[in-house]
Each structure stands twice: as structure tokens, then as C-alpha cells.
Amino acid sequence: MMMRKMGFAEMAASILDALRQKTAYDCYDAVPEDAPSPLVFVEVIGKRDSSTKTMYKETFVANLHLIAMPGDSRLEIYRMIQDVEEALTEHVVVPKNITLVMQTETGVNAIQQDETREYHAVIGYEYMVSYGFKSKI
């Protein structure tokens, strides 16, 4: 029997669904050219094998980019960070027959003001999923 593994698109969709349900921000995997801020976009940037002796697992790595409205105050970007962190205190929903083992924020990686005067924050997350137990034949 072939093991079904989760793909990058499915993980991105799971994160986007959670953010769309639990925040008031427009959330994207590809930002339209003239999309107004504030907004959030999600990029799944990698995955690694996290299997153990008894279980098949992988860890997906994602960066969430938060873009505030143009201005000099950092208060909006700070509020956006808090809103996204609170939204992701609940686990994302993954496809059937795959188990989300762990969802971990790895921290705010950067806060900078872009040339558009919009503050831009990047929050890292890791999502460990399990495909089932290993068995001897």
C-alpha cells in the first residue's frame, strides 16, 4: 500500500484557511499586483523528514509575511503580529488520514519598513505531520 504524503500546496491551503477564518486580513499565497494592505501572504519554504523508529513524519517550514498600511507608526504591524499569533494558537486542519503532530511558531524573523512605507513582518512556523506508524512485514 502506497503511503499518501502531504504536499506543499495542501499545507499552504491549510494555513491560509485558518488565517482567513480567524483574522480580518486578506490572505494570499500569491499577492495580486494592486492588493491593498493590510494583508498576509503565506509561503511554504521547505520540508524535512522527521520520521522516528516507529512513525513516518515530515516537518513543513512556512513564512507568514504581514504587510501593514503605509505609515511611520509600528502599532499596526504589532497588532497584526498579535492577531496572526492568536489565530494560530489553534491547530490548522490537515487532510484526512494525515495527522498534525505539532504546530510551532519559530519567531518573528524580521520587521522592516519597505520602500512603499508599509511595515513588513515575517513570522516563521513549523508544522509536523504524521503519515502513520511503521510496521514490519
pLDDT, residue 1, reads 47
Alpha-carbon distances, residue 67 vs 37, 79, 117, 124, 127 (angstroms): 6, 11, 10, 15, 23
Place of cell 491551503: 13
What's the pLDDT tens digit per position in 84-113?
999 999 999 999 999 999 999 999 999 999
Summarize pLDDT for 28-75 with one digit per residue, the tens: 999 999 999 999 999 999 999 999 999 999 999 999 999 999 999 999
